[in-house]
Amino acid sequence: MGANAKMFLANSEQLATVYDATFTKKEAIETGNNIVADILEKGNVDKIDVLTNVTRLIDVLGTVQSALKKDLPIEKFTKNGMEFNYVQGGDIPQFDEDPIYVELKKELKDREELLKIAIKQDGIIDKYGNDVPRVSTKPKASYNTIKY
């Protein structure tokens, strides 16, 4: 176990008292925005160093949150200004057991591929003799990924 893990374990009890019950989600978001503004304005720390450590911290706290959520009561309750609500799972229809559904799904996937080709070239005809139109596209957001 590394020094960082030991530090977290030694201070794990403090996780129960970091914020009081009146600290709202709005205040949490505002605090995060203020931290970012402070980092960018002052420039005392490297923003990438902060990002790498925050990413690790999110993984640590996300793991804690997931594990503790598994142990919650199966009832609705409120504590420290947060509402907890158990959601009962249900049955999901297994559409893939229907051969007609499977065939239609395959045909739809095939059509999608033809539409992708038709964006780049004209004169595409489907297996039924229909012209495949050139459809419009919408931009996909660009983003950064972080791995470690």
State residue 58's pLDDT score: 94
Share of the chain above pLDDT 90, in %: 81
Q: Which residue has the tokens 């057991």?
A: 97
State residue 15's pLDDT score: 80
Average pLDDT over residues 11-35: 88
* Residue 16 confidence class, pLDDT cut points 50, 70, 90: confident
Residue-wise pLDDT for 24-35, tens only, equals: 999 999 999 999
Residue-wise pLDDT for 58-77, tens only, equals: 999 999 999 999 999 999 99
Taking the C-alpha atoms of residue 91 and residue 93, their distance in angstroms, rounded to an integer, is 6
Residue 68 CB coordination number (10 Å)? 10
Pairing of strands 82-84, 77-79: antiparallel
Least confident of 16-25, 93-102, 114-123: 16-25
Taking the C-alpha atoms of residue 40 and residue 36, their distance in angstroms, rounded to an integer, is 6
Taking the C-alpha atoms of residue 20 and residue 59, their distance in angstroms, rounded to an integer, is 23
Q: Give the domain ranges of the chain.
A: 3-84, 91-136
Token readout for 34 is 């203020």
DSSP 66-111: HHHHTTS-SS-EEETTEEE----------GGGSHHHHHHHHHHHHH
Token readout for 1 is 């176990």
Token readout for 82 is 């947060």
Average pLDDT over residues 12-19: 80
